[in-house]
Amino acid sequence: MSDLEGLGLITSPHTSAGRIPTARGYRLFVDTMLTAQREHMNAPSHLPPDQPQKVIANAANLLSNLSQFVGVVMTPRRASVFKQIEFLRLSDRRLLVIIVSPDGDVQNRVIFPEADYTQSQLVEASNYINAHYAGLTIEQVRDRLQSEVEKLRGEIAALMQAAVKVSSEVLTEAQEDDVVISGERNLLSVTDFSSDMGQLRRAFELFEQKAQLMRLLDVSSKAEGVRIFIGGESQVVPIEELSIVSANYEVDGQVVGTLGVIGPTRMPYERMIQIVDITSRLVSNALSHRK
């Protein structure tokens, strides 16, 4: 025991208490965990294809019900697609880019190109973009423009590249990322939290503000498979008493969001990994098969 304590794997909260694993101890356990047979869980075999908002809400409820902790699901990110782009010359080397999304939303942005363009050149550029790229994602436009840039006049190609860049920024900003949370009250029955109001308050502040939680899920989305942050490992949410088990979900093979379970550091990680893995697959299937 003293050796484990010396390695920082277990600790004693106070003199008369028994030793419990530290965040480092739990990390060692998770990293060396063997793949086990999937235990029986009352999980559905599928989530019914439905509107994305309903699928996400059902998934958050499923996560919290199966885990008895907090279920969180980031709403799907939509691909940045534009319907139409127009340019308006405001003055020398100062242009207004007008971007119309497929839902009819109109966004404006002023850009300052290196070259000066006539209005006829601007019309030529917008006509080309609208004829060849309307309805494609920004990533698809960027790839196609890269391969076609040699066919276009230099100044027009530069203008198109600037338009793609600003369109990507505008359409991304226009999307409202959000996270659906279910089961916060489950933490009230967790001994680690019910006996320490300070820990419980910090946890509920995290759920109310959402900004830190969104950043944490965004960090999780950079990895494949199930991702585990124990205690303050993420450095985004430095709450030692909380851990998160998360995984990405997809639509037609493309990652569009992240979901997970948030609970005490002393959670049954093997079961949480299974719950999160199953739910991510259910959500992916439901959204991909939606008619």
CATH number for the domain spanning 129: value is 3.30.390
Average pLDDT of span 7-12 = 49
Task: Tell me, yes or no, whether 3 lies in a domain.
Answer: no
149 within domain boundaries: yes
* DSSP code string of 114-167: SS---HHHHHHHHHHHHHHHTTSBHHHHHHHHHHHGGGS-HHHHHHHHHHHHHH
Inform me whether the pLDDT recorded for 93 exceeds 80.
Answer: yes
Residue 183 shares a structural domain with residue 162: no
Of the pLDDT bands very low, low, confident and very high (cuts 50, 70, 90), residue 28 is very low
By the 10 Å C-beta count (0-12 exposed, 13-18 middle, 19+ buried), 130 is classed as middle
Quick one: pLDDT band at residue 237, thresholds 50, 70, 90?
low
Q: Are residues 187 and 274 in the same domain?
A: yes
The pairing of strands 84-91 and 254-264 is unpaired
First-last CA distance in the chain: 58
Confidence band for 273, pLDDT divided at 50, 70 and 90? very high
190 with 162, same domain: the answer is no
pLDDT of residue 233: 73
In a domain, 170, yes or no: yes
Range of the domain at 259: 21-77+177-288
160: tokens are 């198109």
- For residue 20, the model assigns a pLDDT of 53
Domain count, the chain: 2
Judge whether residue 34 has pLDDT over 50. Answer: no
Residue 249 falls within a domain, yes or no?
yes
Same domain, 161 and 29: no
- Selection from 238, 248, 249, 160 nearest residue 203 by Cα: 238
Whether 209 and 100 share a structural domain: no
% the chain with pLDDT above 90 = 19
Q: Are residues 99 and 42 in the same domain?
A: no
Q: Is the pLDDT reported for residue 103 higher than 70?
A: no
pTM score of the predicted model:
0.61
CA-closest candidate to residue 119, choices 154, 87, 163 = 87
pLDDT over 80 (residue 55): yes
**89/150 same-domain check:** yes
- The burial of 158, by beta-carbon neighbours within 10 Å (0-12 exposed, 13-18 middle, 19 or more buried), is given as middle
Q: Is the pLDDT of residue 7 over 50?
A: no
Whether residue 99 sits in one domain with residue 65: no
> Do 115 and 216 lie in a common domain?
no
**Domain end call among 136, 155, 174:** 174
232 occurs within a structural domain: yes
